[in-house]
Structure 1
């Protein structure tokens, strides 16, 4: 797992040899929410947005399209779906930030009284890169579980039931 974080943190200014996104989900017991942080190479996200019909986004530039956040939200929602405790859930876009050559996007699922299971369907960037890997990491009370998804395996379930 550490290798995946290193790979995603490496500079993407040259064509990067690995196609990885990391989706970290933390259960916040105090707010009864799942806090989602999605880390994607900026150049890959731009390709995904372009394929979805959003051209001239100019991510992180002075001339960035004012609808960029909306485009990212729409794209991610079309590629990432969740069921919590067997029920489909909606999540809201909180914001984004650029860090070197990656984009962090933040989302939240509210009203999660208890996290027993989470079913994740993720096809993020699989339409762009055949070897795209999407790492899903869920943390509930320091109990961390992972899924590795991609073009061949697009969904999985993590259980936190005793």
Structure 2
């Protein structure tokens, strides 16, 4: 009985010793508006730590003393680590802001205007420099059709065809 309990508890103990690093990115094409609506969910402590490290400034993204400065740091970081191309043309991603939800930060971005496309290339290496085991779940929804993939560090790229 003790051996069975140990085998059952071992994965839970290993997870506690080795944290799980995962972000989620959803990209949705809004056909009437001709925009790509992008949301990126990142664990708040991981995002805050990388922003502190890169900016060499104290920062509390949950309760920032200067929200505009915090937004600027998040926007700059995402601009460096997330990019998109539609049918081979680079897209300009506009940062809209972020919200805190429990232990995660939801970052909101958009690309506009954007004509319908057949191929979307994504590059996402958010937190790759921080965590060797960082992964990203990517969901792209175009005209009601959803495609998903998982990226594991060091692989930052994915292509979606519609």
TM over 0.5: yes
Unmatched segments (≥5 aa) in structure 2 = 1-15
Which structure is higher in helix share?
2
Matched residue count: 147
Q: What corresponds to 1:43 in structure 2? A: 45
Question: Structure 2 length normalisation: TM-score?
Answer: 0.84
The question of whether the paired residues in 2 share the 8 Å contact of 1:54 and 1:71 is answered with no
The CA distance in 2 between the partners of 1:66 and 1:15, in whole Å, is 36
User: 1:25–1:54: structure 2 CA closer, same or farther, 3 Å change rule?
Assistant: farther
Question: Structure 1 length normalisation: TM-score?
Answer: 0.84
User: Is 2:120 the counterpart of 1:118?
Assistant: yes
Deviation (angstroms), 1:112: 1.2
The question of whether the paired residues in 2 share the 8 Å contact of 1:123 and 1:150 is answered with no
Deviation (angstroms), 1:85: 1.2
The CA distance in 2 between the partners of 1:129 and 1:47, in whole Å, is 12
Q: What corresponds to 1:27 in structure 2? A: 29
Q: What corresponds to 1:61 in structure 2? A: 63
The 3-state SS of whatever aligns with 2:129 is: coil
Q: What corresponds to 2:159 in structure 1? A: 157
Q: What corresponds to 1:4 in structure 2? A: none
Structure number with larger C-alpha Rg: 2
Q: What corresponds to 2:137 in structure 1? A: 135
The CA distance in 2 between the partners of 1:15 and 1:51, in whole Å, is 23
Deviation (angstroms), 1:150: 2.7
Deviation (angstroms), 1:132: 0.2
The CA distance in 2 between the partners of 1:43 and 1:37, in whole Å, is 18
Which segments of structure 1 move beyond 6 Å, counting only runs of 4 or more? none
User: Is 2:101 the counterpart of 1:99?
Assistant: yes
